[in-house]
């Protein structure tokens, strides 16, 4: 794709549909395992740090992390995302211009923050040091863009795992010798340096010298602004939800929602990986000349069938597992699960395929408009139902919002490609909804024990796939074959001929 010593290499032959599919599946598996592993490592690190540090140290770092989150939002590949989706490979000059824009933006942010924070005392100084990691992170943006274009996620996963290991080792070691909160703050900086250097070692093509040139960046801005607008919209949605729930229903309901959200991280691991992979995958499939209608229809049907078993199992398990594992005072969180899982069942597969296609087609703003409509519906339904129904009303609000968004996305897909998404995955979703509802009602009458919860989950998942075999045998067999193949994909994809050599 890009020669580290030159400027541009002629585009390689496009990846075949089967190769794109194989790399995409491997990417989802790798990213899901990465997220799971990093969270386990973070939990273990926090347990150790909690025995060394005091709550004030964690509170100070939490403030710094919120500021770093804003800076990282500016430093991600939003502006350069257009380079992932287009057919033509990026030039070194374009990569250098994108890197320069992000480096300049984040450095200015750091300078302003440092001028404000340094005179204000301990907590502000910690935040300034942590924010210094953000400009360093921009140095890996060209490499990340190239890797995502080629659907090569193994180097990204390696770097992020090393990031987590370095941070925990530095933070725990520093805390042990008495650095307090400075151990975590400086650990953020060390992690950024080590991870960025490692990324540049793994991806030589990403070693570009930042060079300011707005004429090279300007054609990318409209698409990048659309991508960033979508992210901002999601942040606003969540902040308004949390604060309004707090105002209407109080801290108890908000706490139950927070616990349910942590449990939902199980399916969200998969969906977040799917959302990350779908845009470059659909872009490469488009480059191969594949009819997007077939890709969207088949992809949404496979995703719906593949994830439905997990979701119906989670619904069936929650009435018994939540109070058994977390305590009876948390049993109300189970009432949130049916609506939330229905939202993921309907919205997850459709958004993963259709949003990826719309982004690959340059329709980022159309996606944002759909998200805004879905957010307004979510707020309206959830806030009107939380008083009479409690936490269950919030789950219903999410489900209604997801249904509305899915209908709008399906309409956009039909207009743009002729794909009939609802016809392709609707029967599977209806079947899963029926099985989930029945399993939920039965599970509520069973003893509230861990074995009964696990048994309910297994029976519900088996009932869904058994019914799917009866309703759509070819689809069920395809999904089961795919699920059996996933363990073999954990080590990544073996490169084939005709691909670029962006990464080892």
Tokens of residue 320, six digits: 């018994």
> In the structure, what pLDDT confidence band is assigned to residue 322 with cuts at 50, 70 and 90?
confident
> In the structure, what pLDDT confidence band is assigned to residue 362 with cuts at 50, 70 and 90?
confident
Q: What is the mean pLDDT of residues 311-332?
A: 87
Distance CA 465, CA 26 (A): 23
The rounded percent of the chain whose pLDDT value lies above 90 is 18
Does the pLDDT at position 492 exceed 50?
A: no
Does the pLDDT at position 409 exceed 90?
A: yes
**Could you tell me the sign of the dihedral formed by the alpha carbons of 178, 181, 184, 189, in that order?**
negative
Does the pLDDT at position 483 exceed 70?
A: no
pLDDT for position 399: 94
**Could you tell me the sign of the dihedral formed by the alpha carbons of 39, 44, 47, 52, in that order?**
negative
Lowest mean pLDDT: which of 24-33, 316-325, 470-479?
24-33
Residues making up the chain, counted from first to last: 504
Distance CA 30, CA 332 (A): 34
Tokens of residue 269, six digits: 């691991």
The enclosing H or E element of 345 equals helix 337-360
pLDDT for position 398: 94
Highest mean pLDDT among 236-250, 318-332, 383-397, 490-504: 383-397
Per residue in 4-58, pLDDT tens?
433 443 345 566 666 776 777 777 777 777 777 887 887 677 777 767 776 666 6
Distance CA 245, CA 382 (A): 9
Per residue in 164-201, pLDDT tens?
899 889 988 988 888 887 888 888 889 989 999 999 99
Contacts of 174 (CB under 8 A, 6+ apart): 182, 183, 184, 186, 187
Distance CA 341, CA 319 (A): 14
Q: What is the mean pLDDT of residues 406-425?
A: 90
Count the neighbouring beta carbons within 10 Å of the beta carbon of residue 331: 17
Q: What is the mean pLDDT of residues 198-226?
A: 83
pLDDT for position 76: 57
pLDDT for position 84: 82
> In the structure, what pLDDT confidence band is assigned to residue 216 with cuts at 50, 70 and 90?
confident
pTM (predicted TM-score): 0.77
Highest mean pLDDT among 208-212, 248-252, 292-296: 208-212
Does the pLDDT at position 494 exceed 50?
A: no
CB 468 within 8 A of CB 316: no
> In the structure, what pLDDT confidence band is assigned to residue 3 with cuts at 50, 70 and 90?
very low
For the chain, what are the domain ranges?
A: 17-212, 221-488
The rounded percent of the chain whose pLDDT value lies above 70 is 85
Q: Chain-wide mean pLDDT for the chain?
A: 80
> In the structure, what pLDDT confidence band is assigned to residue 502 with cuts at 50, 70 and 90?
very low
Q: What is the mean pLDDT of residues 189-217?
A: 88
Does the pLDDT at position 346 exceed 90?
A: yes
Distance CA 380, CA 361 (A): 31
pLDDT for position 407: 94
CB 83 within 8 A of CB 98: yes
Does the pLDDT at position 335 exceed 60?
A: yes
pLDDT for position 71: 64
Count the neighbouring beta carbons within 10 Å of the beta carbon of residue 294: 15
pLDDT for position 411: 92
DSSP SS3 for 168: helix
Per residue in 77-108, pLDDT tens?
467 777 887 778 888 888 888 888 888 888 88
């Amino acid at each position: 794709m890009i020669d580290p010593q030159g400027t541009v290499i002629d585009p390689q032959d496009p990846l075949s549909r089967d190769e794109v599919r194989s790399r995409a599946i491997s990417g989802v598996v790798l990213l899901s395992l990465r997220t799971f592993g990093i969270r386990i490592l973070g939990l273990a690190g926090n347990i150790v740090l909690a025995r060394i540090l005091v709550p004030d140290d964690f509170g100070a770092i939490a403030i710094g992390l919120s500021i770093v989150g804003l800076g990282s939002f500016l430093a991600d590949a939003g502006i350069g995302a257009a380079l992932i989706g287009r057919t033509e490979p990026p030039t070194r000059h374009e990569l250098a211009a994108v890197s320069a824009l992000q480096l300049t933006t984040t450095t200015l942010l750091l300078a302003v923050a440092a001028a404000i924070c340094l005179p204000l005392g301990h907590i502000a100084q910690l935040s300034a040091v942590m924010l210094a990691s953000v400009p360093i992170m921009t140095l890996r943006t060209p490499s990340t863009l190239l890797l995502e274009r080629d659907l090569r996620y193994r180097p990204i996963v390696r770097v992020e795992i090393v990031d987590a290991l370095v941070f925990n080792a530095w933070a725990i070691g520093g805390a042990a010798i008495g650095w307090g909160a400075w151990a975590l703050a400086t650990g953020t900086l060390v992690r950024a340096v080590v991870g960025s250097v490692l990324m540049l070692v793994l991806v030589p093509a990403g070693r570009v010298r930042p060079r300011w040139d707005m004429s090279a960046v300007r054609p990318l801005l409209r698409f990048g602004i659309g991508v960033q607008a979508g992210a901002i919209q999601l942040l606003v949605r969540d902040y308004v939800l949390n604060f309004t729930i707090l105002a209407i229903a109080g801290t108890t309901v908000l706490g139950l929602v927070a616990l349910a959200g942590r449990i939902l991280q199980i399916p969200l691991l998969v969906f977040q990986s799917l959302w990350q992979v779908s845009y470059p995958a659909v872009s490469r499939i488009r480059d191969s000349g594949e009819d997007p209608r077939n890709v969207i229809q088949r992809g949404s049907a496979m995703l719906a069938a593949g994830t439905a078993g997990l979701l119906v199992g989670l619904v069936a398990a929650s009435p018994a597992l939540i109070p058994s594992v977390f305590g009876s005072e948390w049993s109300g969180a189970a009432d949130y699960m049916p609506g939330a899982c229905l939202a993921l069942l309907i919205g997850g597969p459709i958004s993963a395929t259709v949003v990826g296609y719309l982004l690959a087609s340059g329709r980022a703003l159309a996606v944002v408009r759909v998200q805004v409509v879905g957010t307004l519906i979510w707020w309206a339904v959830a806030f009107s139902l939380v008083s009479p129904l409690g936490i269950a009303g919030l789950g219903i609000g999410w489900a209604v919002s997801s249904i509305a968004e899915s209908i709008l996305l399906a309409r956009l897909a039909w207009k743009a490609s002729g794909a009939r998404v609802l016809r392709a995955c609707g029967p599977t979703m209806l079947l899963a909804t029926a099985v989930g509802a029945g399993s939920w009602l039965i599970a509520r009458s069973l003893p509230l024990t861990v074995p009964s919860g696990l048994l309910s989950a297994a029976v519900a998942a088996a009932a869904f796939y058994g019914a799917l075999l009866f309703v759509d045998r070819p689809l069920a067999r395809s999904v089961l074959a795919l699920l059996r193949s996933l363990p073999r994909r954990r080590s990544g994809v073996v490169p084939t001929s005709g691909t670029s050599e962006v990464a080892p």
